[in-house]
Structure 1
Amino acid sequence: MRVLQGVAGAVIVLGIFSSVLRTLVIPRPTRSGFTQVVQRLVHRPFQLLANLMSSAEAKDRVLGPVAPLAILVTLVSWLVCFVVGYALLEAAVSGFGIRDALVESGSSLFTLGFASSKRTTLTVVDFCAAATGPIVVGLQVGYLPTLYGAYQRRETEVTLLQARAGSPPWGPEILARYAQVELLDVLTDLFRNWERWSAQVSESHTTYPILVHFRSPKATRNWLIALLAVMDAAALRLAFNPSLPKTEVRMALRAGFVCLRDIADMKGIPYAQDPHPDDPIELSYEDFLRGVARMEEQGYPLQRTPQEAWPHFRGWRVNYEALAYRLARDIDAVPAPWSGARRTPVAIRAPLTPVDRRPVG
Structure 2
Amino acid sequence: MMLLLLGLILMLLVLRDVIHSVVPRGMSTQFCLAPFLVRRVLWPPFSSLASRITSPHWKAEVLSLFAPTVLLLLLITWILLFTLSVGLIAWALASHFSPAINSPLNAFYVSAASVLTLGTSDFIARSADVKVLMLGDALMGIILTASLISLMFALIGAIQPREALVSMIANLGGSPPSGLAILETFSSMKGHAYMPAFFDECHHWCAEVLETHKSFPILPYFRSNDSLTSWITALGAVLDSISLMLGADPAGDHFSARMTYLIGCKLLNEFTAIFKLTLPEPDDISDDEFHQLYLGLQSAGYSANSEEAAKANFRLLRLRYIAAHRALCDYLVVPIPPYMNKNLVLLPPLSTG
TM-score by structure 2 length?
0.89
> Hey, what does 1:275 align to over in structure 2?
none
Q: Look up the equivalent residue of 2:89 and give its one-letter code.
A: L
Q: How does 1:22-33 map to 2 (within 5 A)?
A: 22-28=20-26, 30-31=28-29, 33=32
Q: Distance in 1 between matches of 2:151 and 2:160?
A: 14
Q: How does 1:137-148 map to 2 (within 5 A)?
A: 137-148=145-156
Q: Distance in 1 between matches of 2:26 and 2:207?
A: 14
> Hey, what does 1:87 align to over in structure 2?
87
Runs of 4 or more, structure 1, over 6 Å off, are none
Pairing partner for 1:118 from 115, 125, 140: 125
CA contact (8 A) 1:29 1:207 kept: no
> Hey, what does 1:344 align to over in structure 2?
none
CA contact (8 A) 1:158 1:223 kept: yes
> Hey, what does 1:290 align to over in structure 2?
292
> Hey, what does 1:34 align to over in structure 2?
33
Q: Look up the equivalent residue of 1:354 and give its one-letter code.
A: V
Pairing partner for 2:143 from 131, 135, 153: 135
Alpha-carbon RMSD: 2.3
Q: Distance in 2 between matches of 1:270 and 1:128?
A: 45
> Hey, what does 1:155 align to over in structure 2?
163
Q: Decide whether aligned partners of structure 1 residues 29 and 310 sit closer, same or farther in structure 2, where only a CA change above 3 A counts.
A: farther
Q: Look up the equivalent residue of 1:156 and give its one-letter code.
A: A
1:215 aligns with 2:216: no
> Hey, what does 1:18 align to over in structure 2?
16
Pairing partner for 1:187 from 180, 185, 195: 195
Q: Distance in 2 between matches of 1:244 and 1:332?
A: 36
- Report the alpha carbon displacement of residue 87 of structure 1 after superposing the two structures with TM: 0.4
CA contact (8 A) 2:34 2:217 kept: no
1:203 aligns with 2:211: yes
> Hey, what does 1:171 align to over in structure 2?
179
CA contact (8 A) 1:35 1:74 kept: yes
Q: Distance in 1 between matches of 2:208 and 2:108?
A: 44
> Hey, what does 2:98 align to over in structure 1?
none
- Report the alpha carbon displacement of residue 350 of structure 1 after superposing the two structures with TM: 4.7
Q: Which consecutive residues of structure 1, in runs of 5 or more, have no partner in the other structure? A: 272-279, 339-348
Q: Look up the equivalent residue of 2:85 and give its one-letter code.
A: G
1:49 aligns with 2:53: no
Q: Deviations over 1:38-95 (max 9, x none)?
A: 3244434532331221132221111011011111101110001111111011101115
> Hey, what does 1:257 align to over in structure 2?
265
CA contact (8 A) 1:6 1:92 kept: yes
- Report the alpha carbon displacement of residue 270 of structure 1 after superposing the two structures with TM: 6.8
How many residue pairs match? The answer is: 341
Q: Decide whether aligned partners of structure 1 residues 52 and 265 sit closer, same or farther in structure 2, where only a CA change above 3 A counts.
A: closer
CA contact (8 A) 1:28 1:207 kept: no
The secondary structure found in structure 2 opposite 1:209 is coil
Q: Which consecutive residues of structure 2, in runs of 5 or more, have no partner in the other structure? A: 96-100
- Report the alpha carbon displacement of residue 132 of structure 1 after superposing the two structures with TM: 1.2
- Report the alpha carbon displacement of residue 304 of structure 1 after superposing the two structures with TM: 1.3
- Report the alpha carbon displacement of residue 355 of structure 1 after superposing the two structures with TM: 4.7
CA contact (8 A) 1:224 1:324 kept: yes
Q: How does 1:217-236 map to 2 (within 5 A)?
A: 217-236=225-244
Q: Distance in 1 between matches of 2:214 and 2:206?
A: 12
CA contact (8 A) 1:158 1:226 kept: yes
- Report the alpha carbon displacement of residue 29 of structure 1 after superposing the two structures with TM: 6.5
Q: Look up the equivalent residue of 1:54 and give its one-letter code.
A: T
CA contact (8 A) 1:9 1:89 kept: yes
